[in-house]
């Protein structure tokens, strides 16, 4: 009975870590997004976003994603860490910002961009994001 309990415990621990493939895909989506923004390629940038964040962005700006995404100011920066939690991911950037992603049927998509930790207790208000779904 004990080996099963240990195996279940180990499976539970590794489920929250994501696979290296998931981490690599989340990193790639993040890098593709910021690269597309820097190179003024709105179609490529918008393709990295979830449908929900596109809808929110268009609602906030009253413009199409393609019309606004490369005009917004996103610092971006080199990826320093990728954390995967089953179907969600957080990518930390060298400039102190983070982005968040969800795994969708078509792959990993950004759901929050330009997120910075807020002052105060992390559980109360952990991040303030420029755009989020």
State how far the Cα of 131 lies from the Cα of 99, in Å rounded to an integer.
10
pLDDT per residue of the chain (133 residues) written in tens, 0 to 9: 434 433 333 334 444 455 889 999 999 999 999 999 999 999 999 999 999 999 999 999 999 999 999 888 777 789 999 999 999 999 999 988 999 999 999 999 999 999 988 776 655 657 888 888 8
Q: Alpha-carbon distance 54 to 83, whole Å?
A: 23
Query: Do the Cβ atoms of 36 and 20 come closer than 8 Å?
Result: no
> Can you give the pLDDT at residue 77?
84
pLDDT of residue 122: 59
Distance of alpha carbon 127 from alpha carbon 118, whole angstroms: 5
What global pTM score does this model have?
A: 0.80
The full set of domains in the chain, from first to last, is 18-132 (3.10.450)
């Amino acid at each position: 009975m004990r080996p099963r309990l240990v195996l279940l415990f180990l499976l539970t621990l590794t489920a929250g870590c994501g696979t290296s493939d998931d981490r690599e895909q989340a990193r790639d989506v993040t890098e593709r997004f910021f690269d597309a923004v820097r190179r003024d390629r709105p179609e490529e940038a918008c393709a990295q976003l979830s449908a929900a964040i596109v809808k929110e962005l268009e609602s906030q700006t009253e413009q199409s994603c393609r019309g606004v995404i490369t005009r917004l100011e996103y610092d971006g920066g080199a990826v320093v860490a990728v954390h995967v939690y089953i179907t969600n991911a957080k990518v930390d950037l060298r400039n102190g910002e983070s982005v968040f992603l969800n795994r969708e049927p078509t792959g990993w998509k950004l759901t929050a961009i330009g997120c910075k930790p807020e002052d105060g207790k992390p559980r109360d208000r952990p991040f303030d994001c420029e755009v989020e779904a």
